Amino acid sequence: MAVDTAASTAVDLGPATALSCRECGARSPLGPDFACLECFGPLEIAYDYAGYDAEELRKRIEAGPASIWRYAPLLPVPADVADKPNLNPGWTPLVKADNLGRELGFTGQLYVKDDSGNPTHSFKDRVVACAIEAARAFEFTTLSCSSTGNLAGAVGAAAARAGFKSCVFIPHDLEQGKVVMAGVYGGELVGIDGNYDDVNRFCSELIGDPAGEGWGFVNVNLRPYYGEGSKTLAFEICEQLGWRLPDQIVIPIASGSQLTKIDKGLQELIKLGLVEDKPYKIFGAQAEGCSPVSVAFKAGRDVIKPVKPDTIAKSLAIGNPADGPYVLDIARRTGGAVEDVTDAEVVEAIKLLARTEGIFAETAGGVTVGVLKKLVETGQLDPSKETVAINTGDGLKTLDAVSDAGMAAVIRPTLESFRAAGLATA
Amino acid sequence: MAVDTAASTAVDLGPATALSCRECGARSPLGPDFACLECFGPLEIAYDYAGYDAEELRKRIEAGPASIWRYAPLLPVPADVADKPNLNPGWTPLVKADNLGRELGFTGQLYVKDDSGNPTHSFKDRVVACAIEAARAFEFTTLSCSSTGNLAGAVGAAAARAGFKSCVFIPHDLEQGKVVMAGVYGGELVGIDGNYDDVNRFCSELIGDPAGEGWGFVNVNLRPYYGEGSKTLAFEICEQLGWRLPDQIVIPIASGSQLTKIDKGLQELIKLGLVEDKPYKIFGAQAEGCSPVSVAFKAGRDVIKPVKPDTIAKSLAIGNPADGPYVLDIARRTGGAVEDVTDAEVVEAIKLLARTEGIFAETAGGVTVGVLKKLVETGQLDPSKETVAINTGDGLKTLDAVSDAGMAAVIRPTLESFRAAGLATA
C-alpha cells in the first residue's frame, strides 16, 4: 500500500495506482516501465476502483463525451483528460449486421464494431490516446513506436495535436496509404529494412541508448498504459448493447494485446457490477501466412513458435506475438477458438463485408470476417448466439488487396455508349 | 394547403409536406422532381414545423442518436428513420484547432468541423442518407448519381447496407482511392470519358430514358431531399457550440449546394428559436483551377461563367456549379467572401492542417484551410472572431497530392544505421 500511495502522489493518472506484474504480482510505482524487475513478466496497471458505486458510475459514463474519455474513471488518465489536446477517439458505431448475418446463416444477432471511424481510421487511436497521457505524466518530449502501419499514423497524428515531436519506425515495404498517412503529420517516419519483429527489436535497443532519451515508445516503455486503451472496445460494445455482455466476440490477433485487453475490460465491467456476469466466448483471428497462435491453439500447445510472416494482412504480420500465450489461455478458458484464413479468403471477406454492410475494411478486417465465416462453417461458433466481430481498420489503407474492384466500364457520355456497354443494371 | 395535405398522406417523409420552388414559390406534391414545372427553378422541401416548441425540440434532439438522425424532426425522413438500415452518418467532431489558430494568427477560437469521420469518410454520407429515405418512399430499386468520387463511394456503401442496387457514374480519371472505394461495395461503377459536367449532363439524359426507369439519382431527381442532409452540418456545429451561431464559417464550393444548405440550416435554427439570432458571415472556398464562383464574386458579377476545371481538388471540380448564384447571394448578404487558392497552396494547407491538428484532409480540405489562411492574410476574415472551417473529406482518398510525405530514411535495424542516417530527432 505504501508503494501505491507514493506513486499516486507522484503522477496523476486518475484511478491508476501502480504497476503490477501479470506473472508474479509484484508491484512497482507508476513509471515508463514494461517488464517486471523480479521476473521479467509484463507489467499491467493496478487501479483503485474501491469508491465506485455501479449506478453512479454508469450515469457518469452515459453523461460523458462521445469518445473513450467517457470511460476515464476506468483508464490510467487524469480526470480532466477530455480538456487536453488529444484526438479523442472511440465511441465508434456498433453496426447491426443483418445482411452479413443472413449470408453467414446467423439466426442470432450479428454486429460489427466498426473502428474505422476513429480519427486515423484504426483502433490504434484508442491505445495511443492513453499512451499520450502517460507520456505527458512522465515528461517525454518525443513519441515513438514500432508499427505495422496503423500505429505509426495514429502516433504521428496524436503527437501533432498534443504538441509532441514524433519519430516512428515501420517495415520499409508497407502499403502506400499507411506510409503517406504516417508521414503527413510532420514527424519523422523511418523505414526499417526488415519485418515488424526486426523493427520491434530495434526499438527495444533504442530505449537503452542515449539516442532514445526523452522518448516515449507507446508500445514498448509505455505499453502498460497503451494497452489499457483496448479495454474501451469492450466497454463500448457492452454499453452499446444496453450494458450487456455479448455471447461471442471475434477479434484479430497481431501481438494479441487487443484480445487480452478486451477480455480484461469485460472482466472489469463484471466486477464493477456494470454488466451481469454470464459466459462469453472469445475467438481470435489470424491470416494463414502469420498464424503462430492459431497453429498453437489447434495443436493444443501452450508455447507459440515464432514465424516469418507472409500475408497481405500486414497490420497483423507479427511473427512473434508478445501476448500469444495469454490469447491461448483466454480462448481456451472461455470456450472460444483461434482460427486462420488464406489471403484469398481475406480478399473475399473484405468484399463480402462491403457488399452486405457498406463497410470497407482493411485486410485485418477481412481476416476477422473471413475467420467469422469459417468458424460458423466449421461449427466452432454458434450462429444462434449474439455475436460481435471487430473491424479494426480501414480499406482505404490497403487498396491493393481489392484493386480489381474498379470500374465496370468506361463509356462516352451518351445513351448509345451506355447501352453498348451492356451493363447488368442497364 | 390542399396540396400539402394530399402529399403528406401519400408518402411519409416526416415533417416534409411539399416541394416548393426556390424562384417562384410554386408548390407541388412530394415526388422525385427537381425542377419547377412553372419556371424551371430548383425545388426545395417545404416543412410543417408549426407544432414545435423550442425547449422540447432541443431536449428531443439532445436525447437522440449520435448521428444526423438526432435532427430527424428537421429533415425529410420518417420519424423511425434510425431503425431502418442506413449508414447513420454525422455527429462528427468539432475540433478545437488551437495549434492551427496560433499559426494563422487567430485570437478568437478556431474550430475544424471534421467530416472525414463519416462512414465513407466524406460529408456525402449525410446527403445520401437523406436521399435514401426518399428513394424508399418513391419505391426506387436502383440508386445512382453523377459524382466527383466521394458521392460514388457514399452511394455504393449506403445502397449495399439499405438493400438497393446501385450504378454510379464518375469521370474516368479520378484518384485510385475513390475509384476502388466506389467499386468495392458490389454495385456498378461506370467511368465517363469526360469531366464531371459531362457526367452530370449524361445522368440528366438517363433520367428521361427507359434505361433509367426505377432509378433514384440522389443528386438529380432526388436532389431536394439529398440537399437537406447538408443542413445537419449547420445543426451540429451550433449544437456542439452549445446552441450558438459561430461568427464565421468557411465552406468549400463544388456545386455550391453544401454552402447554401448550411445557410438554410442556420436560418431554420434561428426561426425555431434553437439559437439566438446574430450576424454571421459565410465564406466560400474554391481551387484557382476551378473558381467560377470566386471569379464572379471578385468581379462583382451575378452571373457565373462556366469553366473547364484543371485542379488537383477533383472533388470540387465542377465547372458549372448549379448553386453558384445562390452562393454569391449568401456571401454578399452575410458580409462574407469567396476566395480561391492555387494547387500548391492546397498541398501546403493539407500539410499545415496535418502538422498542427493531426487531421489528414483530402484536397478539398486543403482548399478550405488554404482559403482560410488567405482570407486572414488579406483581411477578409477576422481572426478575433469565432470561426469554423469545414473539412469535408479524407486525405487517404487523395494520397498523390502529398505523396512526397513519405519515409525520411530507410535504415537497417541497428543503432549504427540509425545514427548514420542523421535524422533531426536523433
Say if residue B94's pLDDT is above 70: yes
**CA–CA distance, B98 with B117 (Å, rounded to integer):** 20
Confidence class of residue A2 from pLDDT cuts 50, 70 and 90? very low
Judge whether A28 is closer than 8 Å to chain B, CB to CB: no
pLDDT for residue B208: 87
Phi, psi of A308 (to 5 degrees): -95, 115
Q: Report the number of distinct structural domains present in chain B.
A: 3
Q: pLDDT at position B423, please?
A: 81
The residue type found at B382 is D
Residue of B nearest to A87 (CA): B358
Contacts of B93 in chain A (CB under 8 A): 88, 119
Residue of chain B whose alpha carbon sits nearest to that of A350: B184
B424: confidence class by pLDDT, cuts 50, 70, 90: low
Residue B17 CA: distances (Å) to CA of A119, B25, B76, B78, B124: 38, 14, 9, 12, 24
Which residue in B78, B82, B64 sits closest to B134, CA to CA?
A: B78
In terms of domains, do A384 and A363 share one?
Answer: yes
Quick one: how far is CA A190 from the chain centroid?
22
Task: Tell me, yes or no, whether B390 and B285 share the same domain.
Answer: yes
Q: How far apart are the C-alpha atoms of A385 and B314, rounded to whole Å?
A: 46
Query: Which strands form B215-217's sheet, in the order they lie side by side?
Result: A409-411, B188-192, B165-171, B142-146, B215-217
Q: From the list B170, B360, B419, which residue is nearest A181 (CB)? A: B360
Same domain, A199 and A58: no
Asked, for residue A414, whether it belongs to a domain, the answer is no
Whether B38 maps to a domain, the answer reads yes
Q: Between these two residues, A425 and A314, which has the higher pLDDT value?
A: A314
Measured distance CA(A95)–CA(B82) in Å, rounded: 12
Q: Could you tell me the residue range of the domain that residue A180 belongs to?
A: 124-226
Average pLDDT over residues A375-382: 98
- In the three-class reduction of DSSP (H, G, I as helix; E, B as strand; rest coil), residue B42 is classed as strand
Cβ of A211 within 8 Å of Cβ of B419? The answer is yes
* Domain end point (choices A207, A226, A245): A226
| Section B158-166 average pLDDT | 97
Which chain B residues touch A96 with a CB distance below 8 Å? 85
Contacts of B161 in chain A (CB under 8 A): 99, 356-358
| A84 reaches B (C-beta below 8 A) | no
C-alpha cell, A282: 472469445
Would residue B416 count as lying in a domain? no
Residue A298 and residue A312 share a domain? yes
Which residues, other chains included, contact A3 with Cβ-Cβ below 8 Å and sequence gap of 6+? A18, A27, A28, A29
Structure-block grid coordinates of residue B93: 467532431
pLDDT of residue B406: 82
Q: Is B83 in the A-facing interface, judged by CB distances under 8 Å? A: no
d(CA B387, CA B95): 11
Residue B386 has pLDDT above 80, yes or no: yes
Residues A246 and A317 in one domain: yes
Averaged pLDDT for residues B5-14: 67
Residue A135 sits in the same domain as residue A114: no
Give the whole-angstrom CA distance, residue A148 versus residue A313: 10
Strand locations in A48-115 (E): 94-96, 110-114
> What is the chain A residue with the closest CA to B407?
A189
Measured in degrees and rounded to the nearest 5, phi and psi for residue A214 equal 80, 5
CATH of the domain at A188: 3.40.50.1100
C-beta of residue B23 within 8 angstroms of C-beta of residue B36? yes
E-only strand ranges, B330-370: 337-341
Per-residue confidence (pLDDT) for residue A9, from 0 to 100? 52
Banded model confidence at residue B8, pLDDT cuts 50, 70, 90: very low
Residue of B343, B339, B333 lying closest to B295 (CA atoms): B339
Q: Does A323 fall in a domain? A: yes
In whole angstroms, what is the distance from residue B204 CA to residue B318 CA? Answer: 16
Give me the pLDDT at residue A424, please. 66
Helix (H) or strand (E) holding A250: strand A248-252
Residues A396 and A251 in one domain: yes
pLDDT at residue B405, rounded to an integer: 84
Residue A356 C-alpha, separation from nearest chain B C-alpha, in angstroms: 6
Residue B84 contacts A where some CB pair is shorter than 8 Å: no
With an 8 Å Cβ cutoff, is B193 touching chain A? yes
Distance from CA of B399 to the nearest CA of A (A): 7
Residue A423: per-residue pLDDT: 81
- Chain A residue with the nearest C-alpha to that of B195: A413
Same domain, B56 and B150: no
Share of chain B above pLDDT 90, in %: 92
Q: What is the mean pLDDT of residues B399-424?
A: 90
pLDDT tier, A8 (very low <50, low <70, confident <90, very high otherwise): very low
Q: What is the ipTM of this complex?
A: 0.95
In chain A, what is the greatest distance between 2 CA atoms, to the nearest angstrom?
83
Same-domain status, A145 and A251:
no
Contacts of A202 in chain B (CB under 8 A): 413-415, 418
Q: Judge if B290 and B182 occupy the same domain.
A: no
Closest partner residue to B405 among A180, A201, A415, by Cβ? A180
Q: pLDDT at residue A3 above 90?
A: no
| Cβ contact A181–B396 (<8 Å) | yes
Which of chain B's residues have a Cβ under 8 Å away from the Cβ of A161?
Answer: 99, 356-358
Residue of B nearest to A407 (CA): B189
The x, y and z cell numbers of residue A124, run together, are 490504434
**Considering CB atoms only, which of A91, A176, A184 is closest to B395?**
A184
The DSSP result for B141-210, as a single string, is: SEEEEE-SSHHHHHHHHHHHHHT-EEEEEEETT--HHHHHHHHHTSSEEEEESS-HHHHHHHHHHHHTSG
- Cβ distance B99 to A85 less than 8 Å, yes or no, reads yes
Residue B3 has pLDDT above 70, yes or no: no
From chain B, the residues in CB contact with A350 under 8 A are 184
Contact B194 A412 (CB under 8 A): yes
Please indicate, yes or no, if residue B98 is contained in any of the structural domains. yes
**Contact call for residues A203 and A125 (beta carbons, < 8 A):** no
> CA A421 to CA A408: how far, in whole Å?
9
Q: What is the pLDDT of residue A281?
A: 98
> Which residues does chain B have within 8 Å of residue A199's beta carbon, measured at their own beta carbons?
413
Count of beta carbons in the 10 Å neighbourhood of residue B322 = 18
Residue A245 falls within a domain, yes or no?
yes
Residue that finishes a domain, picked among B168, B192, B226: B226
Average pLDDT over residues A142-159: 96
B283 phi and psi angles, rounded to 5 deg: -115, 140
pLDDT score at A5: 41
With beta carbons less than 8 A apart as the criterion, state whether B150 and B178 touch: yes
**Does some domain include residue A211?**
yes
The pLDDT tens digits for A19-42 are 999 999 999 999 999 999 999 999
Interface of B with A in 128-167 (CB under 8 A): 142, 156-161, 163, 165, 167
Is residue A171 included in any domain, yes or no?
yes
Residue A247 sits in the same domain as residue A383: yes
Which among A205, A408, A413 is the nearest to B192, CB-wise?
Answer: A413
Q: Does A70 touch chain B (CB under 8 A)?
A: no
pLDDT of residue A135: 98
Q: How many interchain CB pairs under 8 A, A with B?
A: 247
Same domain, B371 and B274: yes
Give tens-digit pLDDT for A30-82: 999 999 999 999 999 999 999 999 999 999 999 999 999 999 999 999 999 99
> How large is the average pLDDT for residues A8-20?
87
For the residues B90-116, what does the mean pLDDT come to? Answer: 98
Q: Across-strand partners of A75? A: none
- A185 close to B (CB below 8 A): yes
pLDDT digits (tens, 9 = 90+) for A162-202: 999 999 999 999 888 899 999 999 999 999 999 999 999 99
